Every structure is written in C-alpha cells, then in structure tokens.
Structure 1
Amino acid sequence: MTSQDFSIKNLLSCLEISQLLESESGSSIWFAHLNLHDFTEVEIPDGGKIADYLLSEMDLQEVQFFLLLIERKRLETWTENSEQVSFQELIEIKLQKSNHNNKNATLKKQGSVWKNKLDPETLKGIIVQNPDAPLESVAKNRHAVIVNPEQSLRLEVLNIPKPWGHEGWYTGVEKRGVVKVTDEYGKTELPYALNIFKKQVLADHPESLI
C-alpha cells in the first residue's frame, strides 16, 4: 500500500475512539483516536492530511474543536537504531460554521507530537480540564512544542564539541545530535516537528533534502 492508495476506508477501520467530550465550560470538543501502528510511515499521509480526511467524512454540527490523536511509528534514520520508534500526534482543528452551506469550516489547525506516550483516557482528562485551550494543555503536559503550519519554527542551537571549541547547529539531524524546536510549552526534535504537517511545511519533500 502507498500513500496514494491510503483511503478513508483504511482510516476509519483504524479509528478506536470517536466521541463528543463533555466539559463544564460549554466548549464542544470532538475527540478521535486513530491507531496506525500496523502501518509503516511511508504508507500513510501526515497527521494534518489525515485530520482533514476524517473531518470531511464527519458531520460535526456545533463543534468548536476537532481533536485527533494519532498513534504511529517511524524509523529514526539519523541513529543506529533499526527498531521503529512509537510516538503520538495530537492535531487540533478549530472550527467555525460557514454562512454559505451551514457546514463547519477550518479556522485554525495546529498540532503537537511526543514520544513519551500517554493513555488516551488520561489525555481526555487533560483536555476537559481546560476545554477552551485543549492542545495547549496537552503540549504543556507532554513538554512538547505546538506546531502551526502557517508559522515559523523557533530552533534551539545545538552545540557540538570540537577540538577548537564547538559547532553551533540550527538544523543538524544526525547521530552526533538532533536539533530541537522550542516554544513556551516545551521542546520537540526537529524531524518530528517538521513531519506533523509535512505536506504544508515541507511540500512533501523527503527529509534527506531538508
């Protein structure tokens, strides 16, 4: 199977949770959990595209936030580890109702990614505690950055020791070290931050060219 063959039917068959979360503030949040552990990273689109696919198939009236938790795995080609690494992505789409066709339109899309996995039920508990800013609450809990595909990433300099001092890396990704993206919520390794919205951020170019 290739990314071109990856259809809505494949996605829906992997959907483990799809429900409305109740909150005291009145914010309406739809939460979905997609388990893609059985697929390799080259077979499936990025998290942003997947969220768009699923949202287009759902009739979510009066919903303010669509949250999609994706569990997947990837090879860290910059290391000597031949085992795939599991990680989680949370995509948040803030919605507003269109006046033209009474359907929801995307107002804002952003996401976060981390490797220290969290149980979906625990994640839902974090979300309902701050339903007006669900992604911010999760990113703070996971110490991970929030990636907005329409905004630039703030890169943390990585100093690589040298006999004469050090090299300062801003985009280096290799065995000696991996640059991280940073913000007020935490830090995320650059390859993970770039790939959550790969279509928009990298124009689907392979990582080796970035």
Structure 2
Amino acid sequence: MRAREGFLLVVVAVALAAARPVTLPAQAPPPAAAETWRFDRLDRVGDRAVTRLGEPRLVDSPLGTVVEFDGVDDALMVEGHPLAGAETFTWEAVFRPDGGAREQRWFHLQEDGSDNRRLFEIRVAGEEWFLDAFAFSDGKEKALINRQALHPVGRWYHVAAVYDGTTFSSYVDGVKQLDFPLEIAPLKAGRTSVGVRITLVNYFKGAIHSARFTRRALAPAEFEGRQR
C-alpha cells in the first residue's frame, strides 16, 4: 500500500506541475520591421541621439522642415544604425542635392571594428548628378553607378538601395538605376554619418527630408515618399 500511495503522490505532483504556467527566460524583442527617420531637428533622428558637426540648418521646404548641409563641414553623427543583423533590406531616403563638389558621400552606415559599410553617394556633373549606392562586407563589394542616369540638381528625389539576399539594386524615384548579383553578410552594430562619410571627407551640399530602413526587400510600389 505504501508503494502505491507513494506512486499516487508522484502522479499528483507531476499533474500539478504540468498545470502551472511555464515561465520562459526573457528574450530581447525582435528588431522592428522598419525604422523611419525624419530630419526636422538637429538633436535626434527617430529615437537616436545625434551629434552635430559644423552648422547644418533647419530650413523650410515644400516638404516641411528639413536639414540643410553646406557641403563644407556640416554633418550629423547618429548613434547606431538600423540595419544591424539585417540579411535583406531596403534603405530609402528623400533628399535634395544642390550641386557642389563632384564626389559626395552623404549617408553612411558603418559597422564598428571593421571596414564593412553601406553608403549612399552622389557624383555631380555640372548641373546634374547620378547615384552611387555602395555595399562592402568582408571583402565583397559593389558600387552601383549608372553614369547615364543623370538627374537635375536642386530638386527633391527619393532614392533606394535594396538587397534581397542575392541581388543589390538601386533606384531613383522608383526607377531602377542598376542591379548586380551579390552575396554580402549583414552589418553588425555600428554608427551612422549623415552629410559626410564617417571619416569626415566628401561633404554633402543639399538637404535631407527623411529616411526609412526596412528589414526586407521592398518592391518599388512599396517605397515611401517618392517625390520630386
């Protein structure tokens, strides 16, 4: 009898344990599907702190308040970057190039402790410009440059860099500029510079309205803020 009673007690204990709610170890929430930056102040973009270099200005525009850069020494250094760990991505920006120096590296996502990076650049040719979207990871790199795809300076444009895991593509106002087969590793955590390369060369002359970072490859119809 004692053996049977002992068995019944074990059965009851197991049943009670199974009925209790199970508490799993706390886990970090997954990264947001998209992060949007609006450039309408000089101390923050989105939820990220900003350090101002030079004298970038808040100015009015047809799109609302934007940040304007002089092409000499204006820049914003942003805490972190939104594409850390993203195996696929769409990086969009709405900006107005205003001429100036030929080479301008105006939006730079940099991985800490390495040379891995993503960049939006432009090349200015007189009163026109063309896009250079650049990716580098562990020795694999591609600059998407279409010198025949020229656009007038002094207007608002939407640009996008898209990576679907196998192909790197660039767009201006929803129109593909170039694509190229590429296999690149996700960026690790790092930092961002806006208005200049992270090494403080090739400053940007113009204005920036917004940016959006999505952790998947979007079709042009899904782009945000396509406007001139």
How does the TM-score come out when normalised to structure 2?
Answer: 0.31
Which is higher, the Rg of structure 1 or of structure 2?
2
Q: Considering fraction of residues, name the structure with more helix.
A: 1
Q: Pick the structure with more strand per residue.
A: 2
TM-score, length of structure 1 as denominator length: 0.33
